[in-house]
Chain A
Amino acid sequence: MNALEINGLGKIYGNGNRALGDVSLTVPKGSFYALLGPNGAGKSSLINILADTVRPSSGKVTLLGHDLFSERNWCKRRLGVVPQEIAFDPFFTPREILRVTAGLFGCKTNEAWLEELLDRLELTDHAGKRARQLSGGMRRRLLVAQALVHRPQLVILDEPTAGVDVELRRRLWDFMRELNAAGTTILLTTHYLDEAEELCGHVAIIDRGQLLTAQPMQTLMHDIASSTLYLKYDKPVLLTKEDGDVLSAFEPTVCDEGVCLKLSREENGGSSFHLAYQAGVARFGIPIDAAVRSEDLEDVFLRLTRRQESEVGDKP
């Protein structure tokens, strides 16, 4: 069973802005799933529809096999959302806020779990202060605790680490990893792509309300992330038209005063490294240094979302 199945989800706001257009996505149960996209891509609209703070214009969503829109309350009990905007009740302390949140979700407060949350999110020393006295990072961690206090099976984290320092971020991710290992499905949006690459087993990239790709992280990095062979010479390389024609199979470019040759995947799982190296040597001679450079998630993300930009720009 999947944690989340989104089919043809669309959202057009009252001002005519089409935030989401026909997005379909499947989040496997137990996965750590990254939902990535530039600002304004539609991530928050999608999350807000799941959280029931925004109405969808079209589409169907099932959560753990139940229809989200017709069985809202069943689904809400199993869903925890960390919103992007910091929101807190200034009248109450973090401990009171967590008790209230658990109660609103229909759960009697599990004191042991509440204390563990405060401890893991490093809020224990601040649990008796008024929420307005907390720093920005503490308030954001309180939002994470609120999303977890009713022990949801699916947790959605909408940029949970914005404004949280590196050390606390690392500990937060350790905690999320433990929850995920214990069976909680986690859907994460973040602008820290290195974190997404490290944490998530699956990734979806959306831009301008459209899904660009959705697949396991390994598949994405294997199939879409490209590798190049960088050859460095004692003098800067200048590419002529003839060089381009001869090496056209490797899409040569000048990079860091050397030459970069794009590698393709071979059927045996390897790459065209050997062919590219031989072709480069035949054309420019033996290099003084060579390296294989692979795209990371950030490179793939930028390439995919830039392509989308140029496609949109080409339209009349």
Chain B
Amino acid sequence: MSQSNLLGAWTLFARETRRFLKVKMQTIVTPALTAMLYLVIFRYAMGDRHVPGMDVDYFTFLVPGLAMMAMMQNAFANTSSSMIMGKVMGMHIYLLMAPLSAFEVVMAFLAAAVVRAVVVASVFLMVLVPFVDISIPHPGIVILYGLSASIIMGGMGLLGGMWSRDFDQVAMVTNFIILPLTFLSGVFYSVQQLPPFWQMINHANPFFYLTDGFRYGFLGVGDTDPSASMGVVLFTVVVTFIACWRLWYIGWRMKE
């Protein structure tokens, strides 16, 4: 007999959302400010140069890439930090003891990760509105890729937090896997600028499709056809979700 617990799932979502809102300076303002600093630095380093092969200046090119990077990193941070803090402080037992299905737990965590990602990206973009022409020719693609990236990274944060035994291990996942993959996803460059070998490496990085598709939605230009990369993105969303669901269900690295 299985009873759904919608109130429980909603409570978990609300808890995870309130947790990051309680420290908004750290979770919203700082990441938005970091993205702004990147933008300012590259703006002055690159001047008015255009991106090769694209009819867009470098400053405008960077905006959606940085917004996507902030979304990905914050979605990951929301779930991974909550999970590892729960494990280290022993609070995770309240999740394990609660009458919540694995589906409800994963949905609640991912929804909160999406909210944080969207809030951070929105703050960053709203500050830029007076300085950049953000017309967004394909809002549907922006939403689809933004949500997909948040879900994938929220899921990876959940898995990273479940795998880690301490803060050091979760920092290892962040610094050795997540940061390189996001930095090398075409946030700061067009893959057309790269030698063939590095182009191939970029095409093997699922985050590249997320950033490129998101940028296409914003600017109408990109390195790949977003309708073609949609398959990779949706496949990654489904695989991430199933991995989270299944591993939570069996209590992977959560129950002895």
**Is the CB–CB distance between A55 and B256 below 8 Å?**
yes
Whether A101 and B94, one on each chain, are in contact in the complex, defined by CB atoms closer than 8 angstroms, is yes
Cα-based distance from A77 to B101 in the complex (angstroms): 13
Whole-angstrom distance between the alpha carbons of A127 and B7 in the complex? 23
* Distance to closest chain A CB from B157 (angstroms): 17
Stretch from A88-96, A161-169, A206-214, A293-301 that touches the partner: A88-96
- Give the contacting residue for B256; candidates A14, A77, A91; CB below 8 A: A14
B1 contacts across to A, CB distance below 8 A:
66, 70-71, 74
Question: Mask for B77-109, Cβ within 8 A of A = 1, else 0?
Answer: 000000000000111011111111100000000
Q: Is A106 on the interface with B (CB-CB < 8 A)?
A: yes
B24 to chain A, nearest CB (A): 12
What 1/0 flags go to B1-29 for Cβ under 8 Å of A?
11101011011101100110011000000
Given contacts A74-B1, A87-B90, A88-B89, whether A104 and B255 have CB atoms under 8 Å apart is no
Within 8 A of B (CB), among A135-170: 146
Count A interface residues, CB 8 Å. Answer: 35
- On whether the beta carbons of B256 and A85 are closer than 8 Å, the reply is no
User: Complex: how many Å from CA A146 to CA B94?
Assistant: 9
B interface, size bucket: 20 to 34
Complex Cα distance, B10 from A105, in Å, reads 11
Known contacts: A54-B255, A55-B256, A106-B7. The answer to whether A89 contacts B91 by CB under 8 A is yes
Interface check B140, CB cutoff 8 A = no
Tell whether A105 pairs with B255 under 8 Å between CB atoms, given A87-B90, A87-B91. Answer: no
Establish whether residues A105 and B90, one from each chain, have CB atoms under 8 Å apart when the complex forms: no
Q: B7 to chain A: which residues have CB within 8 Å?
A: 103, 106-108
Q: Indicate if A134 sits at the interface (CB-CB under 8 A).
A: no
Interface flag for B52 (CB, 8 Å) = no
Contact between B89 and A90, CB atoms less than 8 A apart: yes
Closest B residue by C-beta to A97: B94
Tell me which residues across on chain B come within 8 A of A88, comparing CB atoms. Answer: 89, 91
CA distance A103 to B100 in the complex (A): 11
CB-defined contacts of A286 to chain B, threshold 8 Å: none
Question: In the complex, which of the residues B5, B11, B96 contacts A51, with contact meaning CB atoms closer than 8 Å?
Answer: B96
Interface centre among B3, B22, B23 (most CB of A within 10 A): B3
- Give the complex CA separation of A51 and B12 in angstroms: 19
Give 10 closest A-B pairs by Cβ, nearest first.
A103-B11, A87-B90, A73-B99, A76-B99, A104-B98, A106-B5, A106-B8, A53-B96, A71-B1, A87-B91
Taking A52-B255, A88-B89, A92-B18 as known contacts, 8 extra A-B pairs with beta carbons closer than 8 A to each other, sorted by chain A number, are A55-B256, A77-B3, A77-B99, A79-B97, A88-B91, A103-B11, A104-B8, A104-B100
Q: List 25 A-B contacts (CB under 8 A).
A: A13-B256, A52-B255, A53-B97, A54-B256, A55-B251, A73-B2, A76-B97, A76-B99, A77-B3, A81-B97, A87-B93, A88-B91, A91-B18, A92-B15, A100-B14, A100-B15, A101-B94, A103-B7, A103-B11, A103-B15, A104-B98, A104-B100, A105-B8, A106-B7, A146-B94
